């Protein structure tokens, strides 16, 4: 890659990132909302085309095939879905972003050289190990959490909160397992426990905690949860963005991450619910609110 190509690529990603900012800004008010959607589309086209122009991308068949199939499915769903089913559709879409983040992080782990994040010996750089494991963990939580949110909103699962006994202890242990596993992976890239690579153990624990964090939250609070999961998908994207040293991904991830968190806070205020108590339904340190409610 020539210097000029590298610079042009960086500028194009920056333009895409700015368009995404304008898109979110546009969606905040009715007059500019449609324009905002169009800015988002243009930003996405620029990001995708810029990436495909990268000289390291040489094989297009699968790329085009996957875009055509996925795009057609997405488009048909968007046209056919009833407006009343919008919240669960958004939840379902979040689960796909989470899963995509998991797959990208997994392929970076399996094939670090094509992402340019390993030395000649195949050792992944320390920073990249931290970023990719955070990316896969948050992506996995987004996926499994969104699946539950979808099932609750769509009526495949009762909207009533499911309270496991000792759920806080289980969650704390799982969380500690994830953090500890990431630390072990960063120290020793090839660590295996009982024949399973530590990276996959972290992934599995993250999928499980995603389920457990959302099942205790009641159906009425689900829209807030969907917005929180949106925020998570942003953080996952940012993690992968650091791994790839890609400005568009980092900016977009941060943007989606923080705006999603703020939006869920605003939604809670709108519903006259305390943000903390909604989140505590799942995360709570002591579950005092839930217990008080039951008693």
User: Within 27-46, which residues bind other proteins (CB under 8 A)?
Assistant: 27-30, 33-34, 36-37, 40-41, 43-44
| Separation CA 234–CA 35 (nearest Å) | 22
Alpha helices in the chain (DSSP H): 3-26, 33-52, 61-80, 86-110, 126-154, 167-187, 198-214, 222-244, 247-270, 275-283, 288-294
**Shortest spacing between CB 248 and other proteins, in angstroms:** 6
230 belongs to the binding site for other proteins (CB under 8 A): yes
**Considering only residues 48-87, where is the footprint of other proteins by CB under 8 A?**
48, 51-52, 54, 56-59, 62-63, 65-75, 77-79, 81, 83, 86-87
- Matching residue, tokens 């999961």: 229
Provide the b/e sequence for 81-90 (b: ≥16 CB within 10 Å).
Answer: eeeeeebbbb
| Separation CA 243–CA 241 (nearest Å) | 5
Dihedral of CA atoms 63, 227, 237, 205 in degrees, nearest 10, equals: -100
12 belongs to the binding site for other proteins (CB under 8 A): no
20 belongs to the binding site for other proteins (CB under 8 A): yes
**Considering only residues 240-269, where is the footprint of other proteins by CB under 8 A?**
240-260, 262-263, 266-267
Query: Residue 197: beta bridge partners?
Result: 192
Residue from 10, 15, 25, 219 binding other proteins (CB under 8 A): 25
Q: Determine the Cα angle at 280 with ends 152 and 287, to 5°.
A: 105
Instruction: Output the six-digit token pair for 104.
Output: 């990208």
In the complex with other proteins, the residue whose CB is nearer, 223 or 284, is 223
Residue from 5, 7, 107, 164 binding other proteins (CB under 8 A): 107
Size of the site for other proteins (CB under 8 A): 102
Q: By rule CB under 8 A, what string of x and - marks binding of each residue 133-172 to other proteins?
A: ----------------------------------------
CB 124 within 8 A of CB 105: no
Q: By rule CB under 8 A, what string of x and - marks binding of each residue 177-216 to other proteins?
A: ----------------------------------------
16 belongs to the binding site for other proteins (CB under 8 A): yes
């Amino acid at each position: 890659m020539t210097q000029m190509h590298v610079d042009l690529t960086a500028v194009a990603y920056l333009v895409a990132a700015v368009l995404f900012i304008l898109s979110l800004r546009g969606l905040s008010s009715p007059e500019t909302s449609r324009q905002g959607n169009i800015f988002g589309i243009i930003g996405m086209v620029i990001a995708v085309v810029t990436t495909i122009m990268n000289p390291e991308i040489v094989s297009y068949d699968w790329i085009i095939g996957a875009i055509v199939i996925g795009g057609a499915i997405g488009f048909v769903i968007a046209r056919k879905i009833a407006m009343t089913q919008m919240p669960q559709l958004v939840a379902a879409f979040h689960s796909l972003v989470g899963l995509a983040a998991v797959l990208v992080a997994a392929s970076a782990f399996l094939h670090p050289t094509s992402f340019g994040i390993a030395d000649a010996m195949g050792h992944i750089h320390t920073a990249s190990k931290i970023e990719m494991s955070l990316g896969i963990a948050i992506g996995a939580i987004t996926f499994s959490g969104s699946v539950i949110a979808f099932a609750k909103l769509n009526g495949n699962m009762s909207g009533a909160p499911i309270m496991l006994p000792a759920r806080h202890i289980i969650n704390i242990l799982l969380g500690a397992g994830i953090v500890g596993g990431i630390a072990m992976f960063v120290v020793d890239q090839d660590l295996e426990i009982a024949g399973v690579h530590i990276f996959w153990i972290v992934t599995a624990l993250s999928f499980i905690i995603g389920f457990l964090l959302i099942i205790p939250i009641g159906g009425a609070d689900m829209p807030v949860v969907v917005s929180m999961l949106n925020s998570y998908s942003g953080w996952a994207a940012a993690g992968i963005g650091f791994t790839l040293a890609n400005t568009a991904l980092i900016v977009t991830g941060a943007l989606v991450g923080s705006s999603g968190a703020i939006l869920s806070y605003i939604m809670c205020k709108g519903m006259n619910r305390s943000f903390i108590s909604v989140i505590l339904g799942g995360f709570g340190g002591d579950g005092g609110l839930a217990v008080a409610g039951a008693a």
